[in-house]
Structure 1
Amino acid sequence: MLENPRSPRVRAVAKLTKRSARQETGLFLLEGPQAAREALAYRPETIVEIFATPTALERHPDIREGVRSADLEVVFTTEAVLDSMADTVTPQGIVAVARQTPTSVRDIFAASPRLVVICEEVRDPGNLGTIIRAADAAGADAVILTGRTVDPYNPKVVRATTGSLFHLPISVGADLATTVERAHGAGLRVIAADVGGEDFLASRHVLAEPTAWLFGNEARGLEEDAIQLADLTLRLPIYGAAESLNLATAASVCLYETAFAQRAEA
């Protein structure tokens, strides 16, 4: 059992809360039973190590079975060790280390997707995680993150995805112009979400076709050069007195409207 919170092994795991360590190792941190459960169910081959208190593993028999099925071994630790490893205050007795497995933009569009999300300079980890989760829920085929978007393996992003990080392909560090070019080559219409666009209701009929949604920065939205790359720019109407919609909320609406339209045409 690991008992020393200052041991080199514990410190190596704890360093994965920092982007520099994640970039250097190609690894990232999973905290809590939900993240471990989804990784074991969907991408068990990515798990490098899994740490747990005996009490936590006893409390989650499905995780214990998933570990056994994946032919992994649990390293038992004290609560103090887990607290030292984790980014959260309460990791709920389970922490894992997994390999990053980004998908190339080329492979995403080679798979003939019908609904893709492109995030350009999305900086808030909670927003990005929620967008990935919404994309997964709406049946999107992939999420593409351009170079200035927050690291999807940031612990806060991972937690906000609630496991969706393991459910669909995600591309990291993509070039926006190249991504749009490949989207066009694969027959997708690129639609930018922006407050300066056309009214959503007037153009929602186009959503039944293969679509790539382009979402921008929380504070500034999309830069003009990014908007120029898109085929169409749409804005969601505000019917009440709200100043605006949160980015992740707006993205969820756009993605579900597209999912509804595409399934109605199927």
Structure 2
Amino acid sequence: MPDTPVLTSTRNPRVRAAASLSRRRERVARGQHLAEGPRAVAEALAAGQVVEVLLTPDRRGELEIPAGVEVTVVADHVLAAVADAASPQGIVAVVATPLAALGDAMTGDLVLVLDRVADPGNVGTIVRTADAAGASGVVVTVGSADPFGPKAARAAVGSTYHLPIATDVRLEDVRALAAATGRRLLGLDAGAPNSVFDLDPAGGPVALVLGSEAHGLAEAEVLDGTLAIPIAGKAESLNVGAAAAVAAFAVARTLRDGATR
């Protein structure tokens, strides 16, 4: 795109429309969000979700952008006005948000349920962890940070487009679907008597519930049980993102090994 003019005004309607997606109400109303950086944009392109790409001149030709996707070349200061990151990587995409129904996110052996996890960085990290651990989906309850917000999407590094994510779900609805599909609803709780490493694989699929950073599990009474991560050192607990990684891989391994016996 050597002859494409470089847009230099932050007041351009297209730029302002993209920048407005930093606000949750705009993302919900338009069904779109932003992906930032080459990796996340490449994953969104591969998923066929990208509506428009805004990039700086030095990023021209870096990604293969299919026909039908609008491309806008912008000056560095214009991209900075759109991007959420303190140090933008020269490319941002407007992406159609791939929202999933609860039933689509709860189909496999392991599902991660984020119950009122408020920090967007933790939400994005857990989405990436779910992808890496082989979870079939992620469920995000009412009161959690938006997994399609800029900070969460950036922390997910493209995993946002690899598995179904159901948002604004009530935990009671998760409970009902888990019961109807023979899935154990197990919460991660530092005080639980049972370890994530001692899960019985014969009990069936698991929906693993991760509570808020500040208050833990809010509705433990709806769960089938709780699991703890044994702490060998002097640390009181783990950040919810780190705890999710340990627990997800432990449960995934147990379920996988149990299926091969």
TM-score by length of 2: 0.92
Q: How far apart are 1:204 and its partner, in Å?
A: 2.1
1:206/1:262 Cα in 2 relative to 1: closer, same or farther (>3 Å)?
Answer: closer
1:205 pairs with 2:232: no
For residues 91-140 of structure 1, the C-alpha deviation after alignment (integer angstroms, 9 at most, x for no partner) is 2111110111211113334xx41110111100011111111111000000
- Alignment match, 2:71: 74
Structure 2 CA distance, aligned partners of 1:202 and 1:52?
46
Contact in 2 for aligned 1:49/1:98 (Cα 8 Å): yes
Q: How far apart are 1:14 and its partner, in Å?
A: 0.8
Aligned counterpart in structure 1 of residue 58 of structure 2, from 35, 55, 59? 55
- Alignment match, 1:228: 221
- Alignment match, 2:185: 190
SS of the residue corresponding to residue 8 of structure 2 reads coil
Number of equivalent positions: 254
- Alignment match, 2:88: 91
Structure in which a larger fraction of residues adopt helix: 1
For residues 237-261 of structure 1, the C-alpha deviation after alignment (integer angstroms, 9 at most, x for no partner) is 1110112111111111111011111
Q: Tell me, which stretches of 5 or more residues in structure 2 are unaligned?
A: none
Structure 2 CA distance, aligned partners of 1:256 and 1:179?
21
SS of the residue corresponding to residue 108 of structure 2 reads coil
For residues 144-189 of structure 1, the C-alpha deviation after alignment (integer angstroms, 9 at most, x for no partner) is 0111111111100000001100000000101111111101211111
- Which AA in structure 1 matches 2:33? F
1:54/1:98 Cα in 2 relative to 1: closer, same or farther (>3 Å)?
Answer: same
Structure 2 CA distance, aligned partners of 1:48 and 1:202?
43
What is the percentage of aligned positions where both structures have the same residue?
A: 40
- Alignment match, 1:17: 22
Q: Tell me, which stretches of 5 or more residues in structure 1 are unaligned?
A: none
- Alignment match, 1:101: 98
Runs (4+) of structure 1 moved beyond 4 Å?
none
Aligned counterpart in structure 1 of residue 146 of structure 2, from 147, 151, 168? 151
Structure 1 CA distance, aligned partners of 2:242 and 2:42?
26
Q: How far apart are 1:201 and its partner, in Å?
A: 5.8
Structure 2 CA distance, aligned partners of 1:104 and 1:202?
30
SS of the residue corresponding to residue 91 of structure 1 reads coil
TM-score by length of 1: 0.90
Contact in 2 for aligned 1:28/1:153 (Cα 8 Å): yes
- Which AA in structure 2 matches 1:234? L
SS of the residue corresponding to residue 238 of structure 2 reads coil
Contact in 1 for aligned 2:140/2:168 (Cα 8 Å): yes
Contact in 1 for aligned 2:141/2:168 (Cα 8 Å): yes
1:105/1:3 Cα in 2 relative to 1: closer, same or farther (>3 Å)?
Answer: same
Aligned counterpart in structure 1 of residue 256 of structure 2, from 233, 242, 263? 263
Further displaced range: 123-132 or 199-208:
199-208
Aligned counterpart in structure 2 of residue 35 of structure 1, from 31, 37, 40? 40
Structure 2 CA distance, aligned partners of 1:232 and 1:172?
23
Q: How far apart are 1:208 and its partner, in Å?
A: 7.0
Structure 1 CA distance, aligned partners of 2:239 and 2:37?
27
